[in-house]
Structure 1
């Protein structure tokens, strides 16, 4: 009997992530059902999930249930499936490695754009500010001559460091799980968080949200940032005291580029939308047409490996689950 694969994605996300050819590849190897019905999830051997998939019902991973693999087309899985499911033998795979490439590119773009104040110049030009006044604005700074602090040597943090190397900037990294040899291989100097905040011209956040990292950039840490520092957050808003960071941006002490917020969608009257010193984007750091299709293709590749009894390439092990995003 063929394995039963339930594609638990809404119509819109499924259309963006899974190409017809990828669905055909699945259908050639398994009995494929497209459904968000909890009853269907409970009867699945494999679930393909996404950002719009609700948490899996406990019946799907209870003792005696059929579920053997959750193949997630996104990155974060903790909201979707609990550690107890992995303890009962359910395997989990995701595409954080795919998303990391897109987010790292966006982070480097944000760093360069922030250092050069390209959004500020473009906004002033659109508002008809006189050309001479624009020329008299404070000039931007070269990335080459800056110190960039990376908070979190996650996949995205590492991919960002890789992309920064050709620019010749000095890189610091804070991650309690990273040793000196690994940091050196990434072209970065390992430091504690306080020194990173104090010495960096740019601070880019790439840590997962865990009990130990939630609020790790609090009011005291915001105050420790050097005047004029640029803070880039493409990770999660829960890492930062948003009130303190926003106040520092409004006071002109720091500048901020952020793609993540405590409330999403961001309310129309939220001060993050229009605060001076802030460039805000609507959680799109990982969102490219190329990335979406790659998410689907890599997920299907993983399901086919699993069905063929081959090793998975993007599995979240039980040990890794506790520190995963």
Structure 2
């Protein structure tokens, strides 16, 4: 990782995130590595750039090591950090704190989005395979009857052999889902308006328009970014086009789906859903989605949690070490691609 031709320089670094996040991200091993690669005080965690108590540290900072809860890096905040040159984010999206002022200042940005994509893709693949096996339905029948039930009768025409999975979005997560599904006997459709035909061929998927994907998919899994043009990508008409018994998996952003229209389909029992995100998030207490037997609802847990956080931490420390070595980031964030990414 370190350049063999340049001496390593530990950049003066400040941590900016919620304090509980710092505790979750850094175990003893990660803390030891942090102080080895950066000139920093890991006990100083900034949650407010206007706090006078941290003014001196911010004035000297060359790098920010950020996590969930980092305040926005507005022009006013950056005035307090005249020496700041780079921001390394130990999580996925940087849209919550990287502003236009950062790009105007020429600040470089890296994130651990690639590391965070892995558990989301794993969760998604588990949801797809469980959907094909009709696990929600089968578990409910078994729980209600509390006696031997015929698996053949309960699963009926379910199963994963030859099923069609529609992947919406060739993001890091979408591509990883495609890779993880490759060993299974599934047909993969992919919709992404930015995906070149040769890249679709390399991925081994069939590129299709969104309406074709909706009509032909037994499972639809969403991996598109939250943008004005992706709001209600699956609206009432597109949801109605899904085959009876199809499953909608959403681990991306709740706004990609019209919640009212999806709720109507789910209450009617025509569709199934695995929803790790919703719009709004959290749903109202009276929403039927909490209790429907054909819905698996989880509170945004597909991304890095528990010991998976360590993967993100070390990915971000890799980037900080590259910066200290004078090497380019392995996973840089660019303003021109941030506009159409998560």
What TM-score does the superposition give when structure 1 sets the normalisation length? Answer: 0.92
CA shift, 1:311, in A, is: 1.1
Q: How has the CA–CA distance of structure 1 residues 132 and 241 changed in structure 2, closer, same or farther, with 3 Å as cutoff?
A: same
Pairing partner for 1:36 from 47, 50, 71: 47
- Which residue of structure 2 aligns with residue 182 of structure 1? 199
CA shift, 1:23, in A, is: 2.2
* C-alpha contact (below 8 Å) 2:92/2:112 kept by paired residues: yes
- Which residue of structure 2 aligns with residue 87 of structure 1? 104
Q: Distance in 2 between matches of 1:3 and 1:101?
A: 29
* C-alpha contact (below 8 Å) 1:63/1:88 kept by paired residues: no
127-136 or 207-216: bigger deviation = 127-136
2:219 is the alignment partner of 1:202: yes
Pairing partner for 1:163 from 162, 180, 183: 180
CA shift, 1:100, in A, is: 1.2
- Which residue of structure 2 aligns with residue 26 of structure 1? 34
- Which residue of structure 2 aligns with residue 100 of structure 1? 117
* C-alpha contact (below 8 Å) 1:179/1:190 kept by paired residues: no
- Which residue of structure 2 aligns with residue 122 of structure 1? 139
Q: How has the CA–CA distance of structure 1 residues 134 and 183 changed in structure 2, closer, same or farther, with 3 Å as cutoff?
A: closer
13-22 or 290-299: bigger deviation = 13-22
What are the residue-to-residue correspondences of 1:11-22 with 2, within 5 Å? 11-22=19-30
Q: How has the CA–CA distance of structure 1 residues 13 and 150 changed in structure 2, closer, same or farther, with 3 Å as cutoff?
A: same
CA shift, 1:249, in A, is: 1.4
What are the residue-to-residue correspondences of 1:189-228 with 2, within 5 Å? 189-228=206-245
What TM-score does the superposition give when structure 2 sets the normalisation length? Answer: 0.88
Counterpart of 2:161 in 1: which secondary structure?
helix
* C-alpha contact (below 8 Å) 1:46/1:71 kept by paired residues: yes
Pairing partner for 1:154 from 150, 171, 184: 171
CA shift, 1:57, in A, is: 4.1
Q: Which runs of 5+ in 1 are unaligned?
A: none
Q: Distance in 2 between matches of 1:2 and 1:60?
A: 23
Q: Distance in 2 between matches of 1:10 and 1:62?
A: 21
Q: Which runs of 5+ in 2 are unaligned?
A: 1-8
Q: Distance in 2 between matches of 1:158 and 1:276?
A: 30
Counterpart of 1:309 in 2: which secondary structure?
coil
Pairing partner for 1:259 from 269, 276, 288: 276
Q: Distance in 1 between matches of 2:309 and 2:149?
A: 43
CA shift, 1:267, in A, is: 4.4
2:292 is the alignment partner of 1:275: yes
- Which residue of structure 2 aligns with residue 237 of structure 1? 254
Pairing partner for 2:266 from 236, 246, 249: 249
Q: How has the CA–CA distance of structure 1 residues 120 and 52 changed in structure 2, closer, same or farther, with 3 Å as cutoff?
A: farther
114-123 or 167-176: bigger deviation = 114-123
Q: Distance in 1 between matches of 2:218 and 2:135?
A: 17
RMSD (Å), alpha carbons: 2.2
CA shift, 1:3, in A, is: 3.6
* C-alpha contact (below 8 Å) 1:116/1:140 kept by paired residues: no
- Structure 1 residues 193-239: Cα deviation after superposition (integer angstroms, max 9, x where no partner): 01010111111101111122122111111111122111111111111
Query: How many positions carry a matched residue from both structures?
Result: 325
Counterpart of 2:211 in 1: which secondary structure?
helix
Q: Distance in 1 between matches of 2:299 and 2:245?
A: 24
149-158 or 315-324: bigger deviation = 315-324
Q: Distance in 2 between matches of 1:182 and 1:134?
A: 40
Counterpart of 1:228 in 2: which secondary structure?
coil
* C-alpha contact (below 8 Å) 2:200/2:206 kept by paired residues: yes
- Structure 1 residues 101-155: Cα deviation after superposition (integer angstroms, max 9, x where no partner): 1111110100111121223333443445443487743436222310111000000
2:63 is the alignment partner of 1:46: yes
